Amino acid sequence: MTDSIDQSVRFVSVPDYIPTITGLYADGFTMCVDLTAVDYLLHTNRNVPSGVVAQRFEVVVNLLSMAKRERIRLRLQVAEGESVPSLFDIHPSTEAMEREVFDMFGIVFDGHPDLTRILMPEDWDGHPLRKDYAQGRIPVQFKGAAS
């Protein structure tokens, strides 16, 4: 466990993910404030604690204990193509957050009740927040401008 701006940070492995979340829930961390992801494609040599193997993706979960007035951040290393268990059964509020991570990064959450796109059209190809996603542009046309 490390500390970041007075917030505890735990690095957990995929097999320990659900047991850790369940234990924290029992310990009073009953609110999932945020669940998101980061693509570290261009930062493979980032600093992680010893014993933690850095992967391309990282799922980040922020939990809150109102009774203790504490927050804890979990950082889960996820290899490309690896799936992660859904937190929906423990924290139903993660339903939309996991769908967003799936839509933007392509990370699959096993056991999610409706893992479909939430921001992009259903027929969209790719995941826009991946660092290897081709950046496109839409030409801007101004009213009255010569074409």
Name the pLDDT band for 44 (thresholds 50, 70, 90): confident
pTM of the model: 0.87
Structural domain of residue 37, as residue ranges? Answer: 2-42+53-110
The domain total for the chain is 1
Name the pLDDT band for 147 (thresholds 50, 70, 90): low
* 144 within a domain of the structure (yes/no): no
> CB-based contacts of 29: which residues, under 8 Å, 6+ apart?
63, 64, 65, 70, 72
* 74 within a domain of the structure (yes/no): yes
Mean of pLDDT over the chain? 92
Give the integer Cα–Cα distance in Å for 86 and 104: 16
pLDDT digits (tens, 9 = 90+) for 70-103: 999 999 999 999 999 999 999 999 999 999 999 9
Residue 30 backbone class (left: φ over 0; alpha: ψ -120 to 50; beta: rest): alpha
Task: Average the pLDDT over 115-139 and give the result.
Answer: 88
Q: Say which CATH number the domain at 12 has.
A: 3.30.460.80
Burial of 129 (0-12, 13-18, 19+ CB in 10 A): middle
Give the integer Cα–Cα distance in Å for 112 and 95: 7
